[in-house]
Amino acid sequence: MKRLVLVLLAACCVSASAAVGGNVITVGGRIGPLQIDKSGRAEVLAYAGKPDAEVKERVLGFPAYDALGYECSTKEAADNLSMGNDGPFCRTIFIVDISSHKLEDFFTSDARYQEDRGVRIGTPAAAAQRLLHTTIDHKCLSVLKVESGKALLRISFTGGKADAFALHSPNRTSGLFHCMA
């Protein structure tokens, strides 16, 4: 009986951690199995599935990009972002640079994603600052900024709680997240 309980407990914990691990965002540039500046469109589709919307565009003179959006709407809301100059508005967006064919930007307000040190959508600002050992910048939006040589992680806050994650390439950007850059 003890052995059966241990086997069931191990199976439970492995599958639960794998499910969470699939949506972990790191300052090292990872979104689950994807890597900023390395993964391409095919890898994004293999990970996230068929997008609800796709926009190939350029904004504000930045390089052209291919945006793959999930949980999209034709209406702007507090928990979504425009994929281009005129929408659609999506809760999760993967942006692939058209010239390099590499993932350059990522945005999500989806609570299924979390930062690898424990920051989640809804985490209070004070807790996020403690976990990431940094303070919130209030210049454009309320944004917590963490950087590595591989990526720029941005976490925005509204009402004192984390409400979105953005991950950027340090080498190029789509220009969609000027306040979170």
Q: What are 149-173's pLDDT values in tens digits?
A: 899 999 999 999 999 999 999 888 7
Residue 121, classed as helix, strand or coil, is coil
User: Distance (Å, rounded) from C-alpha 25 to C-alpha 31?
Assistant: 5
The H or E element that residue 124 is part of is none
Q: What are 113-126's pLDDT values in tens digits?
A: 999 999 999 999 99
Residue whose tokens read 């806050």: 157
What class is the 22-180 domain?
A: mainly beta
pLDDT number for residue 12: 36
pLDDT number for residue 181: 54
- Strands 142-147 and 152-158, by their bridges, are antiparallel
Q: What is the distance between the terminal CA atoms of the chain, rounded to a whole angstrom?
A: 55
* pTM for the model: 0.83
